[in-house]
Amino acid sequence: DVKVTQSSRYLVKRTGEKVFLECVQDMDHENMFWYRQDPGLGLRLIYFSYDVKMKEKGDIPEGYSVSREKKERFSLILESASTNQTSMYLCASRPSGTSGNEQFFGPGTRLTVL
Amino acid sequence: GEDVEQSLFLSVREGDSSVINCTYTDSSSTYLYWYKQEPGAGLQLLTYIFSNMDMKQDQRLTVLLNKKDKHLSLRIADTQTGDSAIYFCAEKKGGSYIPTFGRGTSLIVHP
């Protein structure tokens, strides 16, 4: 059974803290993605990685960075968390290539920044 | 305007059919998807259709594609309370890694 796991389901941090969100997939997928989901706004792409050590900015990369040192792991980093980064964060992965392969999603991390 | 548009809410009675609609703007979209998100969970692929198809049926689910109007719909027959979720429409071009998602339609099923 395919699996994308995220390190925390719920996280509470303070403004200015450095925050790490971890995502691990066990499907040997090349492509991995970070989205944030906000009510009424749907999913917005923050960053994606099409292979190890490769990364591309998505639609809303400001305030975020990412790291992909190993194929199975894709980390999202909030260098200095702010209250407007309170959101649900979803990680996804898919096999390589531009065919119709679906994305597999993790359960999400609900981050609250106080 | 948005690339993929969906209405935000749909309310139906248990046992009725639900129809969730989606419009997209890019005529070069090759793959069209419906994902389901249950409360507190990530998204799961429900079904997908290639742009050279008009219809796809999978048990209680029927997907209709009108390429001329760039309109996609998902029909759920005999809707159950377990179908209550957010449904996301997404489209992807053949040469891209990245799908574009709509904002999601919250389906509420009441007795």
CB-CB neighbors (< 8 A) of A48 in chain B: 97-98
**Contact, A60 vs A76, CB < 8 A?**
no
User: Looking at chain B, which residue has its C-alpha nearest residue A10?
Assistant: B40
Q: How far apart are CA A37 and CA B75, in angstroms?
A: 25
pLDDT of B95: 76
pLDDT of B14: 97
Residues A80-90: tens digit of each pLDDT: 999 999 999 99
Q: For residue A44, is pLDDT > 70?
A: yes
Query: What's the length of chain A?
Result: 114
Q: For residue B17, is pLDDT > 80?
A: yes
CB-CB neighbors (< 8 A) of B95 in chain A: 98
Tokens of A21: 């969100």
Residues B20-77: tens digit of each pLDDT: 999 998 878 788 999 999 988 899 999 999 888 899 999 999 999 999 999 999 999 9
Given CB atoms, is A31 within the 8 Å cutoff of chain B? yes
Distance from the first to the final alpha carbon of chain A: 37
Query: Between residues 90 and 109 of chain B, which touch chain A (CB distance below 8 Å)?
Result: 92-99, 101-104
CA angle at B101 for the pair A47 and A44, rounded to the nearest 5°: 35
